[in-house]
Amino acid sequence: MTAPSLRIQFLGTGTSSGVPMIACHCEVCTSTDPKDKRLRSSILIESPTTSIVIDTTPDFRYQMLRIGNDKLDAVLFTHPHKDHIAGLDDIRAYNFFQQREMNIYANAMTEEGLKREFAYAFSDKKYPGVPDLVLNTIDDSPFYIGDIPVQPITVWHYKMPVYGFRIGDFTYITDANRIDEQEKEKIRGSKIMVVNALRKEKHMSHYTLDEAVELVNELQVPEAYFTHISHQLGKHADINTALPPHIRLAYDKQVISI
């Protein structure tokens, strides 16, 4: 599946609590470096004709306002955890100004979570002004959103199967700590990879910094960015200095192209 040229912007690069974390006074949470301010993890992918967001975080409204986005064609979901779906209600602004429904792409497990959390948007009798959503059920099969090709990749978030996505030569994986060998084959050959790196210490459901570096090197991806970062990892500038030259911490509003 050949992809067009893509512009990818990090809407957020933080873990579920964000950075700074409420009531924390550690050196990261009190840092004055803008790159240490992290909203919840999400990206915007734009081709010449199509714009999609992967996950609608609790910060979704502010994320789109601060980059001045006024066009969105679809939302692609990784999994139904609250920090990845909670902002879905704010899709209704795009419904209003674009005068059309919003296509949502999710697997059956995530659809169930969306219907539970946003029951009013999926009821037979809808209150005026609620999000106007069209569910598109996806599985492991590749598909297109407009001119953007999408290959789902099943990864493990402890015991929960979560989707990562390969889009042309770009791969995005968040909330994972294990990938089966057959799914790694879907990643091999990527030119750019984004993967979660929560902290340095072991975690039951996220890659550590060292584990994320090891994964990138194992898959021989030439350029990688880490996301879903907690305040426990350390300051952006300090960690970047210690990373291999082909790997960097992502930061909010960063733009990459492929």
Each residue's pLDDT tens digit, 181-240: 999 999 999 999 999 999 999 999 999 999 999 999 999 999 999 999 999 999 999 999
d(CA 72, CA 59): 16
**What's the total number of domains in the chain?**
1
Q: Does any domain span residue 1? A: no
Q: Does any domain span residue 98? A: yes
**Residue 112, both tokens:** 């169930």
**Average pLDDT across the chain, whole number:** 97
Supply the range of the domain harboring residue 157. Answer: 7-257
Longest C-alpha distance within the chain, in Å?
A: 55
Which pLDDT score is estimated for 127? 85
Per-residue pLDDT of 35-64, as tens digits, reads 999 999 999 999 999 999 999 999 999 999
**What is the amino acid identity at position 90?**
D
Strands (E), 111-229: 133-137, 143-145, 148-157, 160-167, 170-173, 192-196, 223-227
Residues above pLDDT 90, as percent of the chain: 96
d(CA 114, CA 168): 27
Q: Angle at Cα 168 formed by Cα 165 and Cα 171, nearest 5°?
A: 35
Q: Which pTM does this prediction carry?
A: 0.96
CATH number at 244 reads: 3.60.15.10
Per-residue pLDDT of 108-137, as tens digits, reads 999 999 999 999 999 988 888 999 999 999
**What is the amino acid identity at position 82?**
K
d(CA 140, CA 152): 5
**What is the amino acid identity at position 139?**
D
**Number of other CB atoms surrounding residue 185 within 10 Å:** 11
Which pLDDT score is estimated for 214? 98
Residue 1 has pLDDT above 80, yes or no: no
Q: Does any domain span residue 2? A: no
d(CA 214, CA 209): 9
Which pLDDT score is estimated for 39? 98
Interval 7-21 mean pLDDT: 98
Strands (E), 178-235: 192-196, 223-227
**What is the amino acid identity at position 244?**
P
- Report CA-CA distances (Å) from 241 to 145, 208, 238, 246: 37, 17, 5, 12
